[in-house]
Structure 1
Amino acid sequence: MKNCLVVDDSKVIRKVARHILETLQFEVREAGDGREALDRCAERQPDVILLDWNMPVMSGMDFLRALRQSEGGMHPKVVFCTTENGMAYIRAAIEAGADEYVMKPFDRETLESKLQIVGVS
């Protein structure tokens, strides 16, 4: 079974993402900020990470940079899930190592499509 780490400071977003991912046969773990997410990745690298941009403690971009520099940190596919939709944001995310980008709010069909694109559906 594929596993996904959902990183978002919103419990509602984490709950929605968990529900969608579980219907897609993913094992789901959660983190409320980038620091917590790094700890989860140190325990066990996920196959894919759904990552929020704006979070307290450690932002999504800071988490992504730290992840990609860590041992095994190139393995997980990273899909940014955010309300930031400017081309500069998308370009910065891809340059930092994100594999895909999805706008909030997202639905099952959109998320499933992005997971297929990165090869973890």
Structure 2
Amino acid sequence: MSAPIQTRHPCPPGACDCGREQLADGPERRILLLTREEEKRLLARLENLKDLDDLRHLQQRLFEQLGIRVHIGPGLNEVRTMRGIAIELEPQPGLCRKTRQSIPAAIRRGLERNPQVAFRLLDAHDLLRDA
């Protein structure tokens, strides 16, 4: 006998604007498979980036498995620190407010831990071509 699939517990009323109740049955409900334990594993994985290919791979897996689109690139202003790198998640029903904040923070910590990834990211956008 197989165990039932665990889904994320609903947020307290008024504490989140995730729109969980608007989700219909179908592929958009896959975001609910991100339980708190799985979220902790995901954040730890995002903090331990190895290289730019690893970051791109994680972006692709987030979209394939959960439908989360993450856009990472240089911000509009000058990039002097990791805060200058823009990390944005596309709006998605069912994605908790705290998760929308913690994913970019974990990526930023991973970039701070391994600055070579940030340099490769900036180089991929031709910001370091003259350096």
Structure (1 or 2) with the greater strand fraction: 1
Structure (1 or 2) with the greater helix fraction: 2
TM-score between both structures, scaled by the size of structure 1: 0.26
Q: Which of the pair has the greater relative contact order for Cα pairs under 8 Å at 6+ separation?
A: 2
